[in-house]
Amino acid sequence: GEDGLLVAPSSIEELAEAITRLMDDEELRKRLGENGRKRVTRHYDLAKNVDRLAQIFSDRLESLGK
């Protein structure tokens, strides 16, 4: 799934071309935006991340003997 445009690091020319492409192509903007949103909701679930972080803290406290 395509959810963004890649440009070489520090390449001002490529970045400008990508921005221009997005400005000129409404369908591309919509598709990338929709795909990006789907990716975020699929991979970055708040409840899962909170549970995972709580487990990390719990494990760390146990390892410190508290």
pLDDT at 1: 54
Q: Per residue in 24-63, pLDDT tens?
A: 999 999 999 999 999 988 888 888 889 999 999 999 999 9
- pLDDT grade, residue 5 (50/70/90)? very high
The residues near 3 (Cβ < 8 Å, ≥ 6 apart) are 32, 35, 36, 38, 39
pLDDT at 33: 96
Query: What integer is the mean pLDDT of 19-24?
Result: 97
The pTM of the full predicted model, rounded to 2 decimals, is 0.64
